[in-house]
Amino acid sequence: MTSSTRRPSRVAKLPPRERILDAAEELFQSEGIRRVGVQAIAEKAETTKMAIYRHFETKDALVAEWLRIVAADYQAAFDRVEAEHPGRPGEQILGLARFIAEGLPAISHRGCPFINSIAELPDRSDPARQVIEEHKAHQLRRLVAMCAEARLPDPAQTAAEITFVLEGAQVCAQNGSVDQAGERLMRIVEGIVSRS
């Protein structure tokens, strides 16, 4: 096949902004935020640096937007479990734990995007770090509300315990320190939810 008859790649079929975000996600996940330059993103997205800067004022703005998309995926998981188990907050909490448990195999290869990113963003005023902190605070508020609705004792404390378990399971899956992390995670959260 000559270059003139070569079919366009799947990447080229996406609009430029989506190509850039897809490329950035893949590179940030596999190599880290700081190690990836705008030129590498442009090459992966089959575009130019100028095109990236047309859509994102700075690389930092691109990182923050990528993290907003990742956060939205996690918030969608909350929305799904609430819709699947209306009026059953204990089942909602277990659904969230299941969502994390089922995602652990992928995390074992690439790591949690929030954990990986926050390690590279020490400045608390960094817009991308603020995205992570705001997302985590919002997530905790939703979990506290679920715990209160489930009539679990001390909802704030219980939500903190569940958060420690969910976050810890992701770290353990990433570093390989605990086998059967998903099953263990589910047993721990089931024990917490059964306190009601």
Domain ranges (residues) in the chain: 10-56, 59-193
Dump pLDDT digits (tens) for 56-86.
999 999 999 999 999 999 999 999 999 999 9
pLDDT at 161 over 60: yes
* Amino acid, single-letter form, for residue 7: R
Rounded distance between C-alpha atoms, residue 141 and residue 38, angstroms? 35
Rounded distance between C-alpha atoms, residue 53 and residue 55, angstroms? 5
Please check whether the domain covering 10-56 is classified as CATH 1.10.10.60.
yes
Q: How far is CA 71 from CA 4, 129, 160, in A?
A: 41, 12, 19
Q: Do domains 10-56 and 59-193 have the same CATH topology?
A: no
Dump pLDDT digits (tens) for 22-61.
999 999 999 999 999 999 999 999 999 999 999 999 999 9
Stated pTM of the model: 0.84
Long-range contacts of 135-140 (CB under 8 A, 24+ apart): 135/67, 135/71, 135/74, 135/75, 138/75, 139/74, 139/75, 139/78, 139/163
pLDDT on residue 155: 98
pLDDT at 2 over 50: no
CATH classification code of 59-193: 1.10.357.10
What is the residue-wise DSSP string for 61-118? HHHHHHHHHHHHHHHHHHHHHHHHSTT-HHHHHHHHHHHHHHHHHHHHHH--HHHHHH
Tracing tokens 């956060």 back to the chain, one arrives at 71
Q: What is the mean pLDDT of residues 99-124?
A: 88
Higher pLDDT, 70 or 106: 70
The torsion region of residue 87 among left (phi > 0), alpha (psi -120 to 50) and beta comes to left
pLDDT on residue 60: 94
